Structure 1
Amino acid sequence: MAAQKSALILLPPEDAEEIEVIVTGDVLVRGGLQVLYAGSSTEPVKCAKGARIVPDVALKDVKNKTFDIIIIPGGPGCSKLAECPVIGELLKTQVKSGGLIGAICAGPTVLLAHGIVAERVTCHYTVKDKMTEGGYKYLDDNVVISDRVITSKGPGTAFEFALKIVETLEGPEKTNSLLKPLCLAK
């Protein structure tokens, strides 16, 4: 039996976009992944719209570990992730190990800040210019996979983003098995 795949969802000290954090984490768990939420500490993080999320681990405790995917949610707080050297180290280690990185909404700006390369991305329209000026090719798709990086537009695409991660790590059969229980089947 294959080992359970792992995901690390990065939480800024405050102002993460809770839809992107919660929907992504929930879908990944339903898809069979072990999900950890990491914050600057294990103190609750107040999200952009007021929800509070308690990180499972502090960043310092996972900075030398690798995961099948590391996920960067958007929201105003992702600027703090862009400024954090530990996040940069974590992402660069992830790239070297061949793992995936996911970034949604303004999350791709964290990739830009830490020099993580992806030929093509999508992101929230408010950071599109920043990404293209930084050398990324913007695609107006809900989800884009490029160079082991999965990006998505924002809160309204969180389910599609999470399902694409499950499909990439666990296969289309697993993803298809989630659609009906999530009321996303056509």
Structure 2
Amino acid sequence: MRIGLMLFPKLTQLDLTGPAEVFFRMPGAEVSLLWKTLDPVRADTGLTILPTATFDQCDTLDLICVPGGPGQIELMEDRVVLDFLRRIAPGCRLVTSVCTGSLVLAAAGLLTGYRATSHWASREQLARFGAIPVAERVVRDRNRITGGGVTSGIDFALTVASELLGPERAQAIQLQMEYDPQPPFTSGSPARADPAVVESVRAAMKPMLDRRLAATEAAAARLEAEQKA
């Protein structure tokens, strides 16, 4: 099972490292961290991650996963990234994402007509690419599997492990990781968080969300023009 996790500058590292922790524990899995070059990639919090292969070195994959993060905004107009995804996806058994990585898949035209999810603050933007936004932590539609925001990447990856290895192996991986969430608060979703907390988070995120929305609208217009050409 050849698994590729995409790296890019200003990604949210847990979007990548959460699923990677699961994938690396899957027997027989070959996991690659992919970027344009082998130069170190700096995440949005400053953590530096080393790619293990370039796009040009990657001919085929069984699974491609695109994480999210602020740097995803630039990816939606990055021709090298979009062309790589369009090239690699048809041969993949599963085409996947975590958080706002789904917007990158959508910008490449890979979620048109599919149910999908993303971070709660940006999920509805998927509709601009012809995808169907779903307010769930993990969404499966045919061979597309998308995870919600950040921490959902572990749930997403265990779902993938169950799909590929069976539920018993996936449960064993979950136990190895002692993944038994018991958060101190019920504020992990806007549906359950205190409304005042939700509004404060929205206000803090607004400048970045405005930039993301502008990039989404531009990318959606380009995709529509390409599909009509």
Asked if TM exceeds 0.5, the reply is: yes
Secondary structure class of the residue paired with 2:140: strand
| Distance in structure 1 (CA, Å) of the matches to 2:33 and 2:75 | 14
Aligned to 2:79: 85
For residue 176 of structure 1, report the CA deviation from its aligned partner: 1.3
Partner of residue 38, structure 2:
42
The DSSP-based 3-state class of the residue aligned with 1:108 is: helix
Structure 1, residues 30-64: CA drift from partner, whole Å, max 9, x if none? Answer: 122211001121111110111110000122222xx
Q: In 2, Cα distance between the equivalents of 1:82 and 1:59? A: 17
Preserved CA contact (<8 Å) 1:66 1:99? no
**1:143–1:152 contact (8 Å) kept in structure 2:** yes
Instruction: In structure 2, give the amino acid aligned to 1:101.
Output: V
Matched, 1:155 2:147: no
Superposed CA offset, 1:3-37 (max 9, x none): xx11101111x101101111111210112221100
Check whether the contact 2:34–2:53 (CA below 8 A) recurs between aligned residues: yes
Task: Calculate the TM-score normalised by the size of structure 1.
Answer: 0.88
Structure with more relative contact order (C-alpha pairs < 8 Å, separation 6 or more): 1
CA drift of 1:185 comes to 5.5
**Structure 2: distance between partners of 1:185 and 1:130:** 31
- The equivalent residue for 2:114 is 119
Among candidates 50, 53, 56, match of residue 57 of structure 1: 53
Quote the RMSD (CA, aligned, Å).
1.7
Q: Deviations along 1:48-91, whole A, 9 cap, x unmatched? A: 111110000122222xx121100100001123332233333332
> Match of 1:140, as an amino acid?
A
Alignment partner, residue 132 of structure 1:
127
Q: Give the 3-state SS of the residue equivalent to 1:55 in structure 2.
A: coil
For residue 184 of structure 1, report the CA deviation from its aligned partner: 2.5
Partner SS for 2:24: helix
Runs of 5+ in structure 2 lacking a partner? 182-229
2:95 to 91, 98, 101: 101
> 1:49 aligns to what SS in structure 2?
coil
- Partners of 2:57 and 2:73 in 1: how far apart? 21
**Mapped partners of 1:157, 1:100: distance in 2:** 17
TM-score, normalised on structure 2?
A: 0.73
What CA distance in whole angstroms lies between the structure 2 residues aligned with 1:166 and 1:31? Answer: 7
- The one-letter code matched in structure 1 to 2:63 is I
Counterparts of 2:99 and 2:24, CA distance in 1: 21
Which residue identity lines up with residue 159 of structure 2 in the other structure? K
Aligned residues: 179
> Any runs of at least 4 consecutive aligned residues in structure 1 with deviations exceeding 6 A, and if so which?
none
Distance 2:89 2:17 in 1: 24
